[in-house]
Structure 1
């Protein structure tokens, strides 16, 4: 039976409700239930070592399960995608990646004593392609066993029942307040009413209510490994226009290739690099050009995501059984 962990039992889970792993967990649970796949969430750590184990987050619980696997290597272990770099090795990365001589933090990952590189961890999960490419660049032994696994959207909750009002937009602000301000001014100059939603300052009920009333959404975020809020907007059939600098920055310099909307398609919205780009997109905007909910139902629903996870476990098991030589993604 699949066993799922998000945190060590010594942690107070009431303080973890705002952490993003619970957004990912919600979609996974609903997807597995719809597929009729049994699972245990947060079972006792003295569980029988068999079957499949997923540690979504928390280095403390990963280390305990890693120790059990060293003693009895009979179960499949996947780790991620929410395990911070500085939490998955024994020496601490904060000083390493912010030191004066480090131009690219990824260049230090091969020096870290990360559990991800140990053979007991059968696979590492990441939410998107640019993050996987980062691992392949920095630590090939990790990149070779890294799989993309996106969070699924509960399309029953995010049901697409909307009454959009023309000339009304949601402006989602996560980073770069200057860009947010300029986008807000651009929208207002076009006669568009704006509802501002700030990352970390809303609940899903409020977010759903706003999505149900707007014609489209504008997102400002420097980078996203997936962009769960984007997927939730698409499930509500709301097209999104995303500022995408295509790089992360440190001290004003481009650091590494990233994206703020790695899964965006012509069905779900468009990218923009500057305010002029955004205005041009809005000048020609017609809601009928887009079909974001249809895309989510086919590619990013809770059941699609849950099945993807099961497929990854099957690939891991096939390699351990000698049925395949290398992982095929």
Structure 2
């Protein structure tokens, strides 16, 4: 049964399992703390967050570097998905959460959110970072965290061993991709064969010569044009401009838990040629690796999206990709697998299950 929540004078007795409506739909309380915005209570907390956010955005825009982190981009997509699903989404509304301590809340962002949002409400955490598996229990101590989100199977699998105490809380949930924000640009006039997205993060002194430089040399030998963007050193508008001019994205990253950049390309109907060695490189994550985990740089991908290659396979796979480039249907894959509507449905189902005893 739906119950109306008077937002100005909330009823602290509303149960977490009850669907509650605000003025604009089903109420969802979200908290984010990270580089972009800060979760702080009260008017002064909101003023601090807003002022800092404006200053940070202006500084990073002037520097010509990436403004938002992947976590904040994912959080914004969650918020957008819930709005489109008809929800009344409140972000960092401490008063409303404190006045309704049995109503569920969603935490997202960096581990700092666990320090700054110390509320008794039942919690779903994600998208975001709550630490490595051996850190989780101590970090969430004192909080009623019922569900922990990881965006892909292999990322969730790192937390499955029983000694970490996470398995029963873990759920796989990828953020949805907004196909309205990323329309089909495959028909734009193309001047570049490949936009190379360099997200090589470990051992660059070895990997760049062995992989990136080799890829570039082979493209040049085949008279294929390209542009290189390095992760973190460009604005998102540079990425989109490059995609509009390019026939394909060449994605170079050791591994991704989701990989929003390549999925934005897929949503734009740009096929992807992805390096996918299947090796976990992050030294801390490797401590929790089990034999059954399938590591990937493109964890959401099928034959409609493009092709994957290991380093020594690049010449052969490049030829195959070029021969099939006009037949891929990456936007169809995103619409069926990673839509905003699908992500909202899955998140809301989990959110509504946060019932108190």
TM-score, L = length of structure 2 = 0.73
Does residue 1:296 correspond to 2:348, yes or no?
no
- DSSP 3-state at the match of 2:94: coil
Does residue 1:34 correspond to 2:89, yes or no?
no
Does residue 1:268 correspond to 2:305, yes or no?
yes
Matches within 5 A, 1:60-79: 60-65=112-117, 67-69=118-120, 75-79=121-125
Deviation track 1:286-315 (CA, whole Å, cap 9, x = no partner) reads 223311101111211222222221122234
User: How many Å apart are 1:40 and its aligned residue?
Assistant: 0.5
Does residue 1:243 correspond to 2:281, yes or no?
no
Query: How many angstroms apart in 2 are the aligned matches of 1:21 and 1:152?
Result: 13
User: How many Å apart are 1:199 and its aligned residue?
Assistant: 0.5
Measured at CA, do residues 109 and 84 of structure 1 come closer, stay the same or move farther in structure 2, by a change above 3 Å? Answer: closer
User: How many Å apart are 1:64 and its aligned residue?
Assistant: 4.6
User: How many Å apart are 1:82 and its aligned residue?
Assistant: 1.5
Which one of 13, 29, 49 corresponds to residue 53 of structure 2?
Answer: 13
Partner residue in 2 for 1:93: none
Deviation track 1:18-44 (CA, whole Å, cap 9, x = no partner) reads 222221122222222222111101223
Partner residue in 1 for 2:171: 147
User: How many Å apart are 1:55 and its aligned residue?
Assistant: 0.8
Query: How many angstroms apart in 2 are the aligned matches of 1:46 and 1:311?
Result: 21
Partner residue in 2 for 1:4: 30
What is the RMSD computed on CA atoms of the aligned residues?
Answer: 2.7
Which one of 312, 317, 328 corresponds to residue 350 of structure 2?
Answer: 312
Which one of 302, 314, 317 corresponds to residue 281 of structure 1?
Answer: 317
Partner residue in 2 for 1:159: 183
Partner residue in 2 for 1:24: 74
TM-score, L = length of structure 1 = 0.78
Q: Is there any run of 5+ residues in structure 1 with no aligned partner, and where? A: 70-74, 87-105, 322-329
Does residue 1:189 correspond to 2:239, yes or no?
no
Measured at CA, do residues 289 and 316 of structure 1 come closer, stay the same or move farther in structure 2, by a change above 3 Å? Answer: farther
- Structure possessing the higher radius of gyration over alpha carbons: 2
Query: How many angstroms apart in 2 are the aligned matches of 1:199 and 1:192?
Result: 22
Partner residue in 1 for 2:156: 132
- DSSP 3-state at the match of 2:245: coil
Moved over 4 A (4+): none
Matches within 5 A, 1:96-107: none
Query: How many angstroms apart in 2 are the aligned matches of 1:43 and 1:119?
Result: 17
Does residue 1:177 correspond to 2:199, yes or no?
no
User: How many Å apart are 1:45 and its aligned residue?
Assistant: 5.5
Q: Is there any run of 5+ residues in structure 2 with no aligned partner, and where? A: 1-26, 34-38, 58-66, 201-206
